[in-house]
Structure 1
Amino acid sequence: MRSITYTSLCAAAILVMILTGSQTSVAVTCQVTQLAACASAMSSSSQPSAQCCAKIKEQRPCLCQYMKNPTLKAFVTSPNAKKVAKTCGVPIPTC
């Protein structure tokens, strides 16, 4: 009797997770150095690499934090940085 109850509870928990679309989220560590792959594209008119685009997408939740930092703001909001972000499909947030 006990194993049936335990099995039923496990099955119910799994069903609830499936029905609610339970997703695991991964926290992003905000490190502007992760954008080093984009340095050449941001300082010239060259196309961003796949690695650059991946890093910008990864660091997207951090962009407002970078924009609020006086030292980093010019780097993140420069015309070339905006062009690289647009090419990579990452919108510059309004913070």
Structure 2
Amino acid sequence: MQRFLAILAFYKPFVVWSFIVTAIIGFFNPHLVPAIVTKLFLTVFAWYYVNETSNKRKLTFYKNMGISPLKLFSIMFIVDCILTIIFLTVFKEFT
């Protein structure tokens, strides 16, 4: 449970941007498949950004906790997909 909370703490700065992207996707194309593909692209971009900038030292903390970068970004992607599916499902109900 402690590792999962640490992953959520890592995901916290990305939540606002993820929500903005999900809202934009919802307005233009509220289907799940394009949204999930977009989220996958954004997760890969986030990995590249963190891995290639000075934020790379943040990954050291998670490696010391026994969380590999692949596991970190995979769980972040899954959580993001769950939030996206919930948001788009609610969005479709009101449009």
Give the TM-score normalised by structure 2: 0.27
Q: Which has the higher contact order (CA 8 A, sep 6+)?
A: 2
When you count helix as a share of all residues, which structure comes out higher? 2
Radius of gyration: which is bigger?
A: 1
